Amino acid sequence: MLNIAIVGFGNAVVNYHLPYLEKKENIKVKTIFRREEDRVGDTEREAYYPEIIFSTDFDDVLHDEAVELIVVATHVDSHLHYAKLALEHGKHVLVEKPFAATSAEAQEIFDLAKQNNLIAMANQNRRYDGDFLTLKKVIESGKLGHIVEIQSHYDYFLPQYPAKDFGLLHGLAVHTIDQLISLYGPADSVHYDVRSLVAPGKSDDYIDIDFRYGRMKATIKCSMLVKIEHPKFVVHGDRGSFVKMSSGHQSKNGEGRTTVDIKPEPESNWGTLSYIDDEGSTQTEQVPSEATDYGLLYEALLRAIRGKGDKPVKDEEVLYVLDVLSNGIEAAKQTDEGANQS
């Protein structure tokens, strides 16, 4: 049994950690730490989880010998603080994305983990999205031949999108960039088109980043000004193409705790694959969707903690993604400065 403690009790914890962890018989959330000021006016939700201990004293967590893993699910500006404390007290750490404010901070955490023979890993749970797992299945099948183009979209229509100090890259694009890097690793070159369209000079609300791998181009797009739903993934190869709409989230929340159904989505949202087979004939088929299960990341992490496998999200991948995010923000600021001067 792996006993874990979670730092924070926000949207990510309630919707993307707890519902999946409660289905794992070999993993238990023992404690959730919340600062006293974060509990003001927000204690009713704690009653939804009577099996979990809620504490306002982080020392309770750090000195609990039963807790092996601490999950840091706070704002990025406190990730370094909590991760270092956990590692210094002999706990493995799983840190929400973005893992740290900079790659230098991330390296500091990784170095400390290595020094203490512990694991520190980013919670890149979106590698276990059903639509992305379906994409991987199609690519690995080889039916598309040599991949020449991938388009990945994460869009909304929010013309009143509030400026968040260039937070879209860190909040949304971090998911899709990491998915790409998990498939292909660092790119040969990266080209940035990151702008402020809704909130000029104050946000990165339009993201279009090209990653070049030889003759293949992968484009990561996020925008707050897309009114009509666009496919989540569009992939072209020299033998065919694949299109997949978003699988969305499977969480159900209302009164009480959030629950999830870990099951494949209906056939109406399966991906479409069209390709030329070995006999030269065109084949078109609907590709059954894989199920979304963020608990799979925890299972892989548990195997790594027990010395039975590598951690699924590698240090070098985290560092690379953080540098891409940083470069994207600089590109957005430079674009806006140029626009303001013209």
pLDDT digits (tens, 9 = 90+) for 227-286: 999 999 999 999 999 999 999 876 666 678 899 989 889 999 999 999 999 999 999 999
Strand extents, DSSP E, the chain: 2-7, 27-33, 53-55, 67-72, 92-96, 120-123, 147-155, 189-195, 206-213, 216-223, 233-237, 240-244, 251-252, 259-260, 271-276, 282-287
d(CA 131, CA 271): 8
pLDDT in tens, 120-168: 999 999 999 999 999 999 999 999 999 999 999 999 998 887 766 778 8
Q: Are residues 333 and 186 in the same domain?
A: yes
Domain span holding position 45:
2-123
- The answer as to whether 304 is a domain residue is no
CATH number at residue 232: 3.30.360.10
Residues 141 and 76 in one domain: no
Are both 274 and 145 inside the same structural domain? yes
Alpha-carbon Rg for the chain in angstroms:
21
Q: What is the CATH number of the domain that holds 35?
A: 3.40.50.720
Clarify whether residues 54 and 91 are in a common domain.
Answer: yes
Q: Examine residue 302 and state whether it is found in any structural domain, yes or no.
A: no
Same domain, 58 and 164: no
97 DSSP 8-state letter: S
Per-residue confidence band for 31, with pLDDT thresholds at 50, 70 and 90: very high
| 134 & 193 share domain | yes
pLDDT of 71 strictly over 90: yes
Judged by DSSP in three states, 310 sits in coil
Using the structure block, give the residue that is written with the tokens 């260039």. 166
| 238 and 178 housed in the same domain | yes
Using the 3D structure, point to which of 107, 123, 139 is the last residue of a domain: 123
Contact 98, 126 (CB under 8 A): no
Number of Cβ atoms within 10 Å of the Cβ of 126: 21
Indicate if 187 and 234 belong to the same structural domain.
yes
Same domain, 272 and 140: yes
End-to-end Cα spacing for the chain: 61
Number of domains in the chain: 2
How far is the C-alpha of 211 from the C-alpha of 192, rounded, in Å?
A: 9
Flag whether 309 is in a domain.
no
Q: 222 and 90 in one domain?
A: no
Last residue of a domain, one of 74, 98, 123: 123
194 lies in a domain?
yes
Residues 289 and 147 in one domain: yes
Domain boundary among 84, 103, 123: 123
- Cα–chain-centroid distance for residue 156? 17
How many other CB atoms are found less than 10 A from the CB of residue 342? Answer: 5
* Lowest-pLDDT choice from 39-48, 55-64, 98-107, 295-304: 39-48
Tell me, yes or no, whether 303 lies in a domain.
Answer: no
- The interaxial angle of helices 174-184 and 315-341, nearest 10 deg, is 130
Q: What is the pTM of this model?
A: 0.93
Give dist(CA 140, CA 79) in Å, integer.
35
Q: Over the stretch 184-225, which tens digit does the pLDDT of each residue have? A: 999 999 999 998 888 777 788 899 999 999 999 999 999 999
Question: Is the residue at 307 inside a domain?
Answer: no
d(CA 207, CA 222): 5
Q: Are residues 97 and 216 in the same domain?
A: no
